[in-house]
Structure 1
Amino acid sequence: MEQQLNYFIQYLEQVRKSSRNTVLSYRRDLEKFLAFLDAQEISDFASVNETTLNAYILMMEQKQFATSTISRNIAALKSFFDYLEHYESFRSNPAARLKAPKIEKKAPEVLTVAEVTKLLEQPAGRNNKELRDKAMLELMYATGIRVSELVSLTVNDINVQAGYIRCSEHGRERIIPIGSVARVSLRQYLKQARPSMLADDNSSILFPNCSGQPMSRQGFWKILKQYAAKAGIASDITPHTLRHSFAAHLLENGADLRSVQEMLGHSDISTTQIYLKMNTGRIRDIYSNTHPRA
């Protein structure tokens, strides 16, 4: 069974072109499922049926796994058994009728404009690290890109003169404009800091870590949390908080939903619409202040 799992992981990487996060999550979830099957003395996937899968889901619920975790496990199981059905000629798919539990969509955490300003002021540019950190924070808020996209950028992905960056994910490419403030920070970083931070002069990495190697998502998260603490931001800030703030602030100031969807790289506009709900109060105030019969 372990070999079949390895073949499935290769399929995700080479055929589906799944993101690294998806591959790692699915492998981790399916390895836990294998351990469950072993405890049930089930030695092959052909012996798995709907009852087996429902028992596994019930076990996760009894252990009080988060709804999002259970949903991801179900997605992994459905994808895996779809693969077995199509590529290993399984006669039936026991996961075909599995349904993920409904996840209540909560409004994303968003910083105020004042909080973002305070955060972006923290790296003062007194050394190479602060120049890099300033450029990263400014770029993330200016474009709303994901942290995985930020740390994967190369010098070939940015055009400071023309004012845009190019992001690619899952075979889709999008062009996002860069504001003037972020461009100033980028120019300063590229000229004064980046050359001396690289371990290899020929490297195309845009934002290396302090060892001159590619920065990890976790590395940027630590940087962000340090500056958030210095800025006195009490909320539990994550890299996605800047992405959420980017979208919410654009819509609050009149940007159209389709443009924000394009910049965020959302394939489904319903994902972007969640930010509109955050502006309901502001829309009500505008109506009250401007409609002649309000």
Structure 2
Amino acid sequence: LGIPKMYQHLPDVLSRDEIDSLLMQPDITTALGKRDKAIIEILYATGLRVTELIGLTMYNINLEVGSIRTMGKGSKERIIPMGSKAVDSLKDYLQKSRPILLKKRYAAGGSRLFLNSRGSPITRQGLWKIIKKYALMAGINKSVTPHTVRHSFATHLLEGGADLRSVQIMLGHA
């Protein structure tokens, strides 16, 4: 008798249309909608891990260059470029929404980039809820998590002809 084959589950990936639909869901007339739009844009534009995104501070972003500096697994620092849509969404959030969230009664966000409705740093659970909420609103009939957006980022880059090694570096797998 042979050893049974082990099948590796391939990660769920959103299509480009599903990503577009996800990005259209936040109500950008509200402070939280602007924040959520910026979060989804940055997740998709950079492929950040949940821990990396919620740990971002104001000092980790360079809007002039359009990049994010993060400390990944194994305390490896990397600088990741952002596209213009992510930069624009982030600027909109920083100029119009973050100041409102910082003024909340129990605000304790300090220099953290993304704040919750009370002005405190967003949590892992909070980020998961945001992504799940908009996936449901978009009518996406598969399990969607922040990591699904990360996988979609990598897959779409590779499908577009990006170099595998470059994508690995951006993901922090180098």
Question: TM-score w.r.t. structure 2 length?
Answer: 0.91
CA deviations on 1:46-80 (whole Å, 9 max, x unpaired) are xxxxxxxxxxxxxxxxxxxxxxxxxxxxxxxxxxx
**Amino acid in structure 2 at the alignment position of 1:113:** R
Partner Cα distance (2:141, 2:25) in 1: 15
Instruction: Choose which of 156, 161, 168 in structure 2 pairs with 1:249.
Output: 156
Match of 2:116 in 1: 209
Alpha-carbon shift at residue 104 of structure 1 (Å): 3.5
Shift of 1:136: 0.4
* SS class of match (1:165): strand
Who is 2:68 aligned against?
165
What do residues 82-137 of structure 1 show as CA deviations (whole Å, max 9, x unaligned)? xxxxxxxxxxxxxxxxxxxx964221100000000000010130110000000000
Q: Which residue is equivalent to 2:59?
A: 156
Q: Which amino acid aligns with 1:249?
A: H
Following TM superposition, by how much is the alpha carbon of 1:254 offset from its aligned partner in structure 2, in angstroms?
0.3
Q: Gaps spanning 5+ residues in structure 2: where?
A: none
Residues 195 and 103 (structure 1), Cα distance of their counterparts in 2 relative to 1, 3 Å cut: farther
- Corresponding residue to 1:228 among 121, 127, 135: 135
Counterpart code for 1:211: R
User: In the alignment, which of 92, 97, 105 is matched to residue 188 of structure 1?
Assistant: 92
1:116 aligns with 2:23: no
Higher helix proportion: 1
- Matches of 1:171 and 1:224, distance apart in 2: 26
Equivalent runs, 1:10-29 vs 2, <5 Å: none
CA deviations over 1:134-188 (Å, ceiling 9, x no partner): 0000000000000111111001000111100001022210000000001110000
Deviation of 1:211 (Å):
1.2
The alpha-carbon distance between structure 1 residues 204 and 103, as it changes in their structure 2 partners (threshold 3 A), is farther
Q: Secondary structure at the match of 2:140?
A: coil
Q: CA RMSD in A?
A: 1.3
Superposed counterparts of 1:45-84, under 5 Å: none
SS at match of 1:214: coil
Q: Which residue of 2 aligns with 1:142?
A: 45
Instruction: State the one-letter code of the partner of 1:162.
Output: V
Percent identity of equivalent pairs = 53
- Residue of structure 2 in register with 1:177 after alignment: 81
Runs of 4+ in 1 over 3 A off after TM superposition: none
Alignment-mate amino acid for residue 216 of structure 1: T
- Structure 1 residue 200 displacement after superposition: 4.7
Alpha carbons 2:108, 2:121 under 8 Å: kept: no
Distance 1:106 1:167 in 2: 28
Instruction: Specify the code of the residue in structure 2 equivalent to 1:152.
Output: G
- In the alignment, the residues of structure 1 paired with residue 43 and residue 19 of structure 2 have an alpha-carbon distance, to the nearest angstrom, of 11
